[in-house]
Amino acid sequence: MRAVVMHAPRDVRVEDVADATLQKPTDAVIRLAATCICGSDLWPYRGTDEVSEPLHMGHEYAGTVEEVGAEVRDIKVGDFVIGSFFASDNTCEICRAGYQTSCIHREVLGTSGGAQAERMRVPLADGTLVATPGQPDADLLPSLLAASDVLGTGWFGAVAAEAGPGKTVAVVGDGAVGLCAVLAAKQLGAERIIISSRHADRQALAREFGATDVLEERGEDFIAAVGGLTDGLGAHCAVEAVGTHESMHQAIGATRAGGHVGFVGVLHDVAITGDDIFMTHVHLHGGPAPVRRFLPELIQLVWDRTIDPGKVFDLTLPLDQAAEGYRAMNERRATKVLLTI
Amino acid sequence: MRAVVMHAPRDVRVEDVADATLQKPTDAVIRLAATCICGSDLWPYRGTDEVSEPLHMGHEYAGTVEEVGAEVRDIKVGDFVIGSFFASDNTCEICRAGYQTSCIHREVLGTSGGAQAERMRVPLADGTLVATPGQPDADLLPSLLAASDVLGTGWFGAVAAEAGPGKTVAVVGDGAVGLCAVLAAKQLGAERIIISSRHADRQALAREFGATDVLEERGEDFIAAVGGLTDGLGAHCAVEAVGTHESMHQAIGATRAGGHVGFVGVLHDVAITGDDIFMTHVHLHGGPAPVRRFLPELIQLVWDRTIDPGKVFDLTLPLDQAAEGYRAMNERRATKVLLTI
């Protein structure tokens, strides 16, 4: 089967690899309908994360179940399914508390073949996959695929930030996750949603998703501008959707005492000191989004056409042109690239 | 009037100073019934915090109102009152959200005369002070005084950690605040309360306050031991009541994914990295305890003799012997020193 393999930073190839197969009785194998390139795929692409061996890329997926292991009970061959980037049993105490990405049996997707491929193995199929109510219309595919990661991640960021009615929410990061956090905050009932963005197309999508204020300021200027919009108090909530030291401090700084910061950007070189969190009185919560917690609700919202997170995909390419997709995202020519199979 | 003044690390004197007076129409002046020495007073005493000018020490107090300014409405001369270490208006949006220690008008107590004195000025008297239901019996005095800081701080730590029914709570730190966090977790309904302590007297008081498990392990050994008591998952909650890099990491490490860490030790030289909080999935919240939020409830619990946090005082000295009190706490001969006036 065809699959995307990263051999070194900036060296992405589409190659023939061994076909995905069932390895455990709790596995399923799915045929991808579509996959995509994640902002976090750019960390190794840019050399920030080491590429010590060829990486089978991709962890976002939607597709049709072709095989199930002997112990799979709920997921059936022929189901159209979406899953999260970590496999989870969805039955352990940690999963039941809503933290499936810390499941005691979790497995990172992609360890034996990533999602940027024609087929993929999904471990712990019953705990990981959620089937759609039926076979989806083609136009729903981008939004269903978005639920696999960027929507679920932005949603978790907004939930971790306790976005809700009457709240002012600041979103740091205008990538696909930040934009989905805007959408999530809106759905959760936030009164005011402020995002920092300097890209006209992202600004427009942010407003379409529910942003009430689009600021061009960054860093301390952003913090001051949010203060100016909130009687000097700061936002009730902030979602950090980048993962750098600067963005984390921007999110903390924009939040009022007693407020909540939800962080979902994969943290790189971040150092938080006592001064950052002691006198600021913020709540900090985040990490790899437990997308599985939210998938049933998110799939239904997409299915009912209440939300359209698939709009974050602004470039669609066939799988064989994945290398161009990586280049486009790296050069910020695209926010989020969908790969058709 | 007599007051405790720190001139340099380890140089604490009781001196005659200018009498406390009303400075603003929202002030009150109280005559102390008792005060005490705080673990945080040891930071300058040990030279960790700089002593650039003579410090009028003390921020924990209970006593009788002797004077009120023209704009004080609720607090009356003759009231027996307890207050927090930060003055607050208790009316601003931040106060109403329960974060009086981040009040937009907050004032640090002690800037014009600390609580280790015969009298003290309390700014924003109506927002800062809470009167007891009547004149207290003498034996209630230690517990009422404890409410001013160590009880309120331990309580906030337990609340920030979301201690409650069915929860396992790990407490890091067996000082007065840690012991009060045990008491708070018990009152909040926690099922299991684990504390790290190597001092026989503190172990005994921890058990009296509600600890179910007293561990002698520290650091990684403590984390492993908590794991051993919780099916390898870690505690649901941890209260950090020390304020060092090591204790903060001990608290985070002892907490399961999705759990809550409440930190109330004044943080010194703490650095939290992305690894500490991203993959661990913990919630972090803390800072200077908004004691004012809890004072009415805590005073009532003491008044009704439901709790007896005054037991954390294991040495009582007259104000004039404050220097010996500092020495005793610094040398760990005492957990918490009460000074009678």
In the predicted structure, residue A268 carries a pLDDT above the cut 80 = no
- Give the DSSP H/E element, type plus range, for residue B195: strand B192-196
What percent of chain A shows pLDDT beyond 70?
A: 99
Cβ-Cβ contacts under 8 Å, B273 against chain A = 267, 270-272
Nearest to B279 among A272, A279, A287 (CB): A287
- Please report the pLDDT score of residue B109 as a whole number: 82
Q: How confident is the model at residue A121 (pLDDT cuts 50, 70, 90)?
A: very high
The DSSP letter of residue B133 is: S
The pTM (predicted TM-score) of the whole model is 0.95
Rounded-to-integer distance, Cα A268 and Cα B278, Å: 10
- Does A269 score more than 70 pLDDT? yes
B46-82 burial, b at 16+ Cβ within 10 Å, e below that, comes to eeebebeeebbbbbbbbbebebbbeebeebeeebbbb
Residues from chain A that touch B288, judged by Cβ atoms under 8 A, are 278-279, 281
Give first-to-last CA distance, chain B, whole Å. 11
Q: Which residues of chain B have pLDDT under 70?
A: 110-113
**What is the reported pLDDT for B284?**
97
Tell me the pLDDT tens digit for each residue of A276-287: 899 999 999 999
| Sequence ranges of the domains in chain B | 2-149+290-340, 153-286
Q: What percent of chain A has pLDDT over 90?
A: 91
Between chains, do A243 and B284 touch, taking CB under 8 Å as contact? no
| The pairing of beta strand A119-122 with beta strand A28-37 | antiparallel
Look up tokens 């012997």; give the residue.
B321
The CATH superfamily holding the domain A2-149+290-340 is Medium-chain alcohol dehydrogenases, catalytic domain (3.90.180.10)
Cβ-contact A267, A273 below 8 angstroms: no
Nearest to A99, CA basis, from B280, B253, B163, B286: B280
B274 contacts A102? CB cut-off 8 A: no
Model confidence pLDDT, tens digit, residues A13-35 = 999 999 999 999 999 999 999 99
| Residue A38 and residue A153 in contact, taking contact as beta carbons nearer than 8 Å | no
Alpha-carbon gap, residue A170 to B62, rounded angstroms:
41
- Among 3.40.50.720, 3.40.640.10, 3.40.50.150, 3.40.50.12160, what is the CATH number of A154-286? 3.40.50.720
Q: Do B285 and A284 touch (CB under 8 A)?
A: yes
The continuous run of DSSP H or E covering A326 comes out as: helix A322-330
Amino acid at B60: E
**Nearest residue to A274 via CA among B318, B52, B48, B182:** B48
A108 pLDDT band, cuts 50/70/90, is confident
CA–CA distances in Å: residue B61 to residues A78, B36, B111, B147, B314: 71, 8, 15, 9, 17
CB A92 within 8 A of CB A127: no
Count of CB contacts below 8 A, A vs B?
Answer: 108
> Between chains, do A102 and B257 touch, taking CB under 8 Å as contact?
yes
Residue pLDDT, tens place only, B281-316: 999 999 999 999 999 999 999 999 999 999 999 999
Give the residue from B91, B268, B272 with the most A CB atoms within 10 Å of its CB, the best one to mutate: B272
Residue A93 has its nearest CB partner, among B233, B243, B273, at: B233
Confidence check: pLDDT of A111 > 60: no
Residue A259 has pLDDT above 80, yes or no: yes
**Are B22 and B113 within 8 A, CB to CB?**
no
- A216: nearest Cα among A236, A199, A234, A241: A199
Q: Compute the mean pLDDT over every residue in chain A, rounded to the nearest whole number.
A: 96
- Please write down the HEC assignment for all residues of A197-226: CCCHHHHHHHHHHCCCEEECCCHHHHHHHH
Q: Which two tokens stand for residue A218?
A: 């960054």
For the B153-286 domain, the top CATH level (class) is alpha beta
Partner residue opposite A286 with nearest CB, options B102, B231, B278: B278
Contacts with B, A 239-298, CB within 8 Å? 243, 256-258, 263, 266-275, 277-288
